[in-house]
Chain A
Amino acid sequence: MTTKLVDFQFNYRKTIALNPTTRAPILDANTGKTLEVYHPIIPFVISSEKKRGSQTEGLLDSGSDGIVIPKGLADYLSLDLKLADRPMMVANGRSVERFTSKASLMIGRGGRYCDPIEVEVSVPAEGNPPILIGREPIFRLFVITFVEAEKRFEMKPYRAN
């Protein structure tokens, strides 16, 4: 049986970050105005064999080899974690031990979802990263086009010619 994938188009997420202590908006150091940033965020439901999570979201990250989730989410899902042979290299060049496990992603929101996709997730042993949706398997299963000028991206199921 094949996994049914569907087309998606999502606008980039606009984030206005607040100082966690003062709850005041973080300002742009150059302009003094409220800092607004845009990210390609992909909505989905993540599940394990034991538990189905709430609707959540991850940063679509073509620079990441695979899917990264924080330890807190792995614990919530009661994932069976195995220490990986290879650590992960993080953006500042450090090497961080990681665990791996299996999970299921159902991409979509608002009642429009594709079939669950079985994925391997990496769970850093330290730190609290956002959920990162890297290339394997999502960029293999979908042709993903970033339309940076319009702050949106499109996902179409990949079909070999």
Chain B
Amino acid sequence: MNKVTMDDVTGPEGQWTVVVKGKVIASSDDAQKMFELAEKYPKDDTVVTRVLHPQASFY
């Protein structure tokens, strides 16, 4: 499992990830699925984040 702190993240590029207590427990292209999955975990311990492409420009 990839570890995550508040200030860093390691995960598959471009994907939405569910992080619970500092561990990436799931990742997907589908944001909706990841937010739905996050509902199953304690809110205080859970973050849904996106692993940004390292060399991308955005909107």
Contacts and interface: CB of A to CB of B under 8 A. Distances in A.
Contacts of A59: 52, 58
Interface of B: 2, 6-16, 27, 29-33, 35-36, 38-39, 43-44, 46-55, 57-59
Interface in A106-149: 109-111, 124, 128-132
Contacts of A88: 59
Contacts of A73: 31-32, 35
Contacts of B35: 53-54, 56, 72-73, 76
Interface residues of A, number: 45
Contacts of A15: 8-10, 51-52, 54
13 contacts: A12-B7, A15-B8, A15-B9, A17-B10, A18-B2, A20-B12, A35-B55, A55-B47, A72-B30, A72-B33, A111-B44, A124-B59, A128-B31
Given A55-B46, A72-B32, A73-B35, 20 more contacts: A13-B9, A15-B52, A16-B8, A17-B12, A17-B51, A17-B53, A18-B51, A26-B13, A54-B35, A54-B38, A55-B48, A61-B59, A68-B59, A72-B31, A73-B31, A75-B32, A91-B57, A111-B44, A129-B58, A131-B50
